[in-house]
Amino acid sequence: MKKYYNCIPPGSFRNLADRHYRATGKRGMILPQTSLYDFMDKIEEEFYETRNACTNFGLSEEMVHEAVDLCAVVINMLKFYNYDFLEEYRKNTEYQESRVV
């Protein structure tokens, strides 16, 4: 059963993403000298953790956790480089919609 409760409004999502970014920085995982390759390495790590959490029975709680970790790294990378994930997602959505035949 899909869980749709506790949906977060866009303004709150940005607040949540900011909190995550700050917490990750306080842990020393995002520093001024963090490179794009550091983010790419972390994305690769999280991708393989997500893939390894796959089961033949559909999504597992572990896989959902790892998929969220993967998304969080991407969102943090975009924030680090001064991109707004929600704005970029909106643009991507509009692009995808424009491709619908």
| Residue 66 token pair | 């790892």
As averages over each run of 10 residues, the pLDDT of the chain (101 residues) reads: 57 90 97 98 97 84 94 98 95 96 78
pTM for the full predicted model: 0.85
Q: 3-class secondary structure for 17-68?
A: HHHHHHHHHHCCCCCCCCCHHHHHHHHHHHHHHHHHCCECCECCHHHHHHHH
pLDDT at 1: 47
Residue 50 C-beta-side C-alpha neighbours within 13 Å:
16
